[in-house]
């Protein structure tokens, strides 16, 4: 299944790493959900994937049918169900994710600020921009150096 670069993307970041077993079980749930995900009776061309055992990413190609309020609510419900079932927080936008030696680390905003001020996170550190909205931006602007991200504007005074 190919998706247009303008496909809509939603990213949910966990506050903890899912085990490989959990990823497998969650992926099955997500596959079942996207296989029947509809908007006003129209099947959505959609997929869900888990990256780095931390991120759940939904992609919807709106060329065939666009996601609507009700269909987006349905995706939020499944994410809330996963949160409850696995004891993870997938909605806290104040958790920041960055990469060290290929490993993802998620910390709260205060710890992230501390890591910047002690130079543990540098302008070249890879951070995750979970606010990307299209597949094209996801592919090119999701994992970016701190200096090229929105984080740089928010936390600039700490560098």
Q: Using a pLDDT cut of 70, give the percent of the chain over it.
A: 99
Quick one: 112 and 150 in the same domain? yes
Over 80: is that where the pLDDT of 140 sits?
A: yes
Quick one: 82 and 99 in the same domain? no
Residue 80, domain CATH: 3.30.70
Q: How far apart are CA 114 and CA 18, in angstroms?
A: 25
Q: What is the pLDDT of residues 53-87, one digit of tens each?
A: 999 999 999 887 878 888 889 999 999 999 999 99
Q: How confident is the model at residue 38 (pLDDT cuts 50, 70, 90)?
A: confident
Which one has a higher pLDDT value, 40 or 83? 83
Average pLDDT on 49-53 reads 98
Average pLDDT on 2-22 reads 96
- Counting the structural domains of the chain, the total is 2
Q: Show the tokens assigned to 112.
A: 């992230």
46: Cα separation from own chain's centroid: 15
Q: How confident is the model at residue 89 (pLDDT cuts 50, 70, 90)?
A: very high
- Mean pLDDT of the chain, nearest integer: 94
Residue in 117, 102, 112 with CA at minimum distance from that of residue 54: 102
Quick one: 82 and 116 in the same domain? no
Q: How far apart are CA 109 and CA 97, in angstroms?
A: 10
The confidence score (pLDDT) of residue 85 equals 97
Domain-embedded: residue 80? yes
Quick one: 61 and 16 in the same domain? yes
Helix, strand, or coil (residue 44): coil
Domain range for 75: 8-86
Domain-embedded: residue 3? no
Quick one: 72 and 122 in the same domain? no
Task: State the pairing for strand pair 126-128/103-108.
Answer: unpaired
């Amino acid at each position: 299944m190919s998706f247009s670069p303008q496909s809509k993307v939603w990213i949910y970041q966990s506050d903890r790493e899912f085990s490989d077993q959990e990823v497998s079980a969650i992926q099955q749930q997500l596959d079942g959900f996207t296989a029947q995900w509809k908007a006003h009776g129209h099947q959505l061309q959609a997929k869900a994937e888990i990256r780095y055992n931390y991120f759940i990413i939904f992609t919807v190609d709106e060329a065939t049918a666009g996601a609507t309020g009700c269909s987006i609510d349905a995706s939020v419900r499944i994410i809330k169900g996963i949160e409850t079932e696995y004891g993870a927080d997938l909605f806290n936008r104040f958790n920041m994710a960055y990469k060290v030696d290929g490993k993802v680390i998620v910390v709260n905003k205060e710890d992230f600020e501390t890591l910047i001020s002690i130079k543990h996170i540098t302008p070249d550190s890879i951070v995750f921009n979970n606010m990307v909205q299209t597949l094209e931006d996801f592919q090119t602007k999701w994992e970016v150096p701190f200096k090229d991200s929105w984080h740089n504007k928010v936390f600039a005074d700490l560098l």
